[in-house]
Structures are given as structure tokens and as C-alpha cells.
Amino acid sequence: MLVPIPIVCFVGTLVTDIAYWSTANLQWANFSAWLLSIGLVASVFAGLAGAIDFFGDRAIRRLRPAWIHASGNALALILAIVNAFVHSRDAYTSVVPTGLILSALVVVILLVTGWNGAELIHRHRVGVQPGERA
């Protein structure tokens, strides 16, 4: 239940970056920085829970989608941290073009890792009790 918070925040960062790029209204750049900060804090907790699942079960580590999911989420987190430093600069240089590109990369990576996470649940039944529907 921790995962949706950083996803929404990172997608929201991309949306507010696009809004700033379109309007040059400084408040959109502020929203981006706030969403990034909240997303990073929440992703630490989601990442810890994911790492416990990943490293705690050898069967999960044998699955290719688990590796894509884990390494992709780690990459997204690293890029989001870099993006937070970029967004700490002056408004225009914090968004255009580097912040906008980083925000888009994070969202694309999250789409790939989300697909692999869903495959882990629905195809490989990771985290699903026997007899329970995913």
C-alpha cells in the first residue's frame, strides 16, 4: 500500500513540470519540488518493503520480472534524487529542460517496473495467498 504514493507524486511532478513549461507560472515549479520531496520520502518506505520482499525470498530472486522491477525502481529512485537536486535550482533552470527530461524518464521507468510488478503478482502469484484472487 506504500507504492502508489511515490508513483502519484512522480507522475504529478511530470504533470506540474509540463504545466510550468507551458505557462512559466512559478507556482508549478514549486509544486514539482514539493511532489518530488514527498515522493522521495514515501519511496524510501516503499523501497524498504520491496527490498525485504526481494532479498527475503530466494524464489522471488529467481524470477526475471523481479530483477527488472527491483533494478528499475532503484534506477527511478536515483533519477528522482538527481531530479530533486535539479529542481532545487532557480525556477526556469530547475524545470527546462533537465528537470522535465528527468521527470519523464522516471515516469517511463515506473511504467516498465509497474508492468513487471503486475506480472509478479498476476502471473507468478508473488504475495498472493493460495486460493486468493490477485
The pLDDT tens digits for 7-63 are 999 999 999 999 999 999 999 999 999 999 999 999 999 999 999 999 999 999 999
Q: Establish if 134 belongs to a structural domain.
A: no
By residue range, what is the domain housing residue 111?
4-122
Write b or e for each residue in 70-108: b if 16 or more Cβ atoms lie within 10 A of its Cβ, otherwise e: bebbeebbebbeebbebbeeebeebbeeebbebbebbbe
User: Does 116 reside within a domain?
Assistant: yes
Tell me, yes or no, whether 61 lies in a domain.
yes
In a domain? residue 62:
yes
Q: Structure pTM?
A: 0.94
Tell me, yes or no, whether 38 lies in a domain.
Answer: yes
Name the residue among 38, 37, 33, 55 with its Cα closest to residue 2: 38
Is 85 part of any domain? yes
With cut-offs at 50, 70 and 90, classify the pLDDT of residue 1. Answer: confident
Q: Are 76 and 10 in contact (CB under 8 A)?
A: yes
Cell reading at 56:
527475503
pLDDT over threshold 70, residue 73: yes
CA dihedral sign, ordered 90, 15, 6, 79: negative
Counting the structural domains of the chain, the total is: 1
Residue 70 located in a structural domain: yes
Mean pLDDT of the chain: 95
Q: Look at residue 127 and tell me if it is in a domain.
A: no
